[in-house]
Structure 1
């Protein structure tokens, strides 16, 4: 059965949490109630679209598109791709690309002029930069990040 890329649905929560561990194995576990609450919030948000690629009833890739209104660049919204993950056993088969392309297609349909993506993985794996460049991303402005201070 060929892989299919689609919008994520409520039933995908457990599979997504498993898939996310392929990117961040030490990710803190969410309690069931919190996970379900957050997932319902994500699915209900008009400015968020999560895409999954499924092969043989297993989620093998995902990405999330977040769009934000903007007063610059003619009022076109910003697009942000986040949580791009491919299952470790299914990498280099085009599944990640399918998920990214679904996110980009949705961004263009929403009128975004550009889509931003920040990754901390390029220094860990040279194939990451090649992958994103093959999806159309180019190095641009430097991305910076600040972490919330410990309380």
Structure 2
């Protein structure tokens, strides 16, 4: 990883750059109105069970991940962790930035007392290196995951 980079929690001023970064994961992501984006961002930043991590290199956001933790009554009442929206700028991949935001999310999950962190990605069938990357970050195949999508009205 570049010595000029910094891994940190996302801040209010990161919104537009973060939205641009997300397009490297989902290019066809719908545009959000400024009001909706700002209000949702403020909601995310103020949620005590959500943490967004970014890597900034030379003043530019190059990677991000989001950790969501949820209280739980199972497994000794230890919370669940969910790692979402792991994305690295296309021009900055394979430099360790993705690993940095994954490790930041995992570190926060362990600090919050999570017993496990779940990650779901739809990218493994598109790129076999994705599974290798997450395995090298400490993830392993476990129980099968299923997903329901809200019906289109």
Mapped to 2, the partners of 1:20 and 1:147 lie a distance apart of 20
Q: Which runs of structure 1 show a deviation greater than 6 angstroms over 4 or more consecutive aligned residues?
A: none
- 2:5 corresponding residue in structure 1: 3
- 1:50 corresponding residue in structure 2: 52
TM-score, structure 1 normalization: 0.99
2:66 is aligned, of 40, 64, 67, to 64
Mapped to 1, the partners of 2:78 and 2:35 lie a distance apart of 36
Mapped to 1, the partners of 2:109 and 2:61 lie a distance apart of 22
Matched residue count:
151
Listed as ranges, the gaps of 5+ residues in structure 1 are: none
- 2:29 corresponding residue in structure 1: 27
Mapped to 2, the partners of 1:31 and 1:126 lie a distance apart of 35
Listed as ranges, the gaps of 5+ residues in structure 2 are: none
Mapped to 1, the partners of 2:145 and 2:55 lie a distance apart of 28
Q: CA RMSD in A?
A: 0.6
Mapped to 1, the partners of 2:93 and 2:4 lie a distance apart of 15
Encode CA deviations 1:80-118: one digit per residue, 9 max, x unaligned. Answer: 000000000000000000000000000000000000000
Mapped to 1, the partners of 2:104 and 2:38 lie a distance apart of 24
